[in-house]
């Protein structure tokens, strides 16, 4: 989800002293009077005329045994614009297992730049074959079949419209606008039981509200539909060590949100615990925030992350919307290189998606919680998957006030314990700058600091790396079960702590 800062050097001046002639697969461009060079796979993966294939792309595992070795691998990954499938690379660790996607044209270059004594093995021999083996967008005949596959944005919208039509307490909402002019659709709902008593007790016209969304990064499919085996929950802010490079993501967030909304809506009035939660707060759930990028990841490039907004370099499109928010913009953990996966955009809120969603959030005076679902940060320890609870902010010199800090800590610990109770997954929690890495311009930072939404989180969903971004659909339901349990526990804590 979060990528290290990369200074925007003129693209023809790649480090490691690699010239175009010595760097197979590199392409050279003339643009606005300058000469730029970039690996051919970067140009190909920005192609929007035909679907991109990843035939022959391998995921390699590199084992490092020292800080110097990890630092060296990190620099190679950065300079060759490779995909880091595990991360961040912790250069302070005594040893690291680093998974990297390498295009066939760069395989010999990559391996030749590695110190010869470093062990290298093949984790995934062909990424395209893995994608083909797990592709499934077929909608089944039965209601439960929806959560046995990943779906297009059109299918997800139809799913939400069906809920709004069948349940009178559910309404469709439009929370943002994309660069290509699409509406960002979600649903809003709250229960009717006890509403009058709630209003009388609290003396307000509106219940407190929660807003959860997925799909800020396009390829993280599982967020909108369910959730993989585990995730990292980050309370507003993100930190990384100096050589965090590129993280890629799996089919996670879109799956989580649709699974959640289906269970909350259809079980209201049937399940006592869900009924209490739906009665207690107003829920707004948005499965896909980066709609343009999500559609592009289905139709053109399965690994696409950013939005689809053009940049100054014609062959490097897109802004990382989770680096474009107007809080600590452009600092550590973001890039000013348009070809970077973590490109923060030319100005805060230069992406229409972040600008319009921030305006929607600012107008919701009743919000008390916000969750931004992400995927596949691959923070695994001893083979266990982790939900890591992290606190504000994205820069290490900031922390929330003590009461907020304590409440966020308690909320995170309760949620992780609840999630673990479902399928026995192990979890951890702690401040972000100590637990992961730095990042700037993220949504959770802005929502907490600028809009005053106390219980703001980012949730990282992932598996242990066996499938990387291409998580099998059969993991959707068990993952969704864990996330729903954690979210219900979180809302129950908020109701208790804030005396709602």
C-alpha 110/C-alpha 73 separation (Å) is 9
Q: In whole angstroms, what is the distance from residue 307 CA to residue 305 CA?
A: 7
What domains can be seen in the chain, in order of their start residue?
26-133 (3.30.70.340), 136-497 (3.40.630.10)
pLDDT at 86: 67
Question: Which structure tokens are listed for 360?
Answer: 């929607």
> Rounded to whole angstroms, how far apart are CA atoms 46 and 32?
19
Does the reported pTM lie above 0.85? no
Question: What is the DSSP annotation of 288-355?
Answer: -S-HHHHHHHHHT-TT--S-----SSTTS----GGG-SSSSTTSTT-BS-TTSTTB--SSTT-SHHHH
| 444-486: pLDDT as tens digits | 889 999 999 999 987 766 555 566 566 667 777 887 898 899 9
Which tokens in the block code for residue 240?
């990384």
CA distances from residue 299 to 47, 50, 218, 303 in whole angstroms, order as listed: 11, 8, 12, 11
CA–CA dist 332, 105 (Å, integer): 31
Residue with tokens 């807003």: 211
Residue 315 CA, distance from chain mean position: 24
The C-alpha R_g of the chain, in whole angstroms, comes to 22
pLDDT tens sequence for the chain (500 residues): 433 333 333 333 333 334 333 455 667 766 666 776 777 888 888 776 788 999 999 999 999 998 889 889 988 987 888 887 764 455 555 567 888 999 999 999 999 999 999 999 999 899 999 888 866 544 444 456 788 777 889 999 999 999 999 999 999 999 999 999 999 999 999 997 755 555 556 665 679 999 999 888 787 665 454 433 333 333 333 333 323 222 223 334 567 788 999 999 999 999 999 999 999 999 999 999 999 999 998 899 888 889 999 998 877 899 999 999 999 899 877 888 888 878 999 999 999 999 999 999 999 999 999 998 877 543 322 222 334 444 555 556 667 788 998 998 899 889 888 988 988 766 556 555 555 556 689 898 899 999 999 999 877 665 555 665 666 677 778 878 988 999 999 999 999 999 98
DSSP state of 269: T
- If you count them, how many residues does the chain have? 500
Strand ranges inside 150-205, DSSP E: 170-177, 183-189
Is residue 79 part of the annotated active site? The answer reads: no
**Neighbouring-strand partners of residue 231:** 461
Residue of 220, 460, 485, 492 with catalytic role: 460
Half-sphere exposure of 7 (CA within 13 A, CB side): 7
Strands 367-375 and 230-234: unpaired
333-377 pLDDT tens trace: 788 888 887 899 999 999 999 999 999 999 999 999 999 887 754
């Amino acid at each position: 989800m979060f990528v290290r800062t990369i200074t925007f050097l003129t693209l023809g001046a790649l480090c490691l002293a690699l010239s175009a002639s010595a760097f197979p697969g590199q392409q050279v461009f003339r643009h606005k009077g300058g000469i730029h060079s970039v690996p051919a796979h970067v140009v190909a993966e920005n192609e929007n005329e035909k679907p991109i294939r990843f035939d022959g792309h391998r995921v390699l595992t590199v084992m490092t045994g020292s800080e110097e070795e990890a630092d060296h691998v990190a620099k190679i990954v950065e300079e060759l614009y490779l995909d880091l499938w595990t991360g961040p690379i912790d250069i302070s660790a005594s040893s690291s297992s680093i998974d990297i996607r390498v295009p066939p044209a760069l395989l010999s270059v990559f391996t030749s730049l590695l110190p010869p004594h470093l062990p290298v093995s093949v984790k995934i021999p062909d990424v395209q074959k893995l994608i083909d083996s797990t592709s499934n967008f077929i909608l089944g005949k039965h209601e439960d079949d929806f959560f046995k596959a990943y779906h297009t944005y059109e299918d997800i919208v139809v799913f939400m419209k069906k809920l709004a039509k069948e349940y009178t307490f559910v309404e469709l909402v439009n929370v943002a606008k994309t660069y290509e002019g699409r509406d960002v659709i979600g649903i809003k709902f709250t229960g009717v039981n006890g509403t009058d008593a709630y209003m009388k007790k609290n003396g307000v016209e509106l219940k407190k509200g929660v807003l959860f969304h997925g799909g800020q990064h396009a390829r993280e499919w599982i967020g909108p539909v369910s959730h993989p085996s585990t995730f990292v929950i980050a309370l507003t802010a993100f930190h990384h060590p100096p050589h965090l490079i590129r993280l890629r993501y799996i089919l996670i967030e879109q799956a989580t949100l649709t699974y959640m909304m289906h269970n909350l809506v259809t079980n209201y009035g049937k399940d006592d615990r869900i009924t209490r939660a739906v009665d207690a707060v107003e829920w707004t759930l948005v499965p896909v925030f980066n709609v343009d990028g999500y559609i592009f990841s289905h139709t053109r490039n399965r690994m696409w992350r950013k939005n689809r907004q053009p940049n100054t370099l014609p062959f490097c499109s897109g802004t990382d919307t989770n680096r474009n928010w107007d809080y600590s913009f452009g600092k550590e953990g973001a890039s000013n290189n348009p070809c970077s996966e973590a490109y923060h955009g030319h100005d805060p809120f230069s992406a229409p998606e972040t600008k319009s969603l921030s305006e929607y959030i600012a107008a919701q005076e009743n919000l008390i919680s916000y969750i931004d679902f992400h995927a596949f940060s691959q923070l695994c320890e001893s083979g266990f998957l982790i939900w890591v609870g992290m606190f504000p902010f994205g820069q290490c010199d900031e922390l929330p006030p003590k009461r907020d800090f304590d409440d966020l800590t308690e909320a995170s610990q309760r949620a992780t314990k609840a999630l673990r109770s479902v399928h026995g997954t192990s979890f951890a929690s702690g401040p972000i700058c100590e637990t992961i890495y730095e990042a700037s311009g993220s949504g959770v930072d802005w929502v907490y600091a600028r809009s005053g939404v106390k219980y703001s989180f980012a949730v990282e969903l992932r598996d242990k790396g066996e499938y990387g971004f291409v998580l099998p659909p059969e993991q959707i339901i068990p993952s969704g079960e864990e996330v729903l349990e954690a979210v219900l526990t979180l809302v129950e804590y908020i109701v208790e702590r804030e005396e709602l």
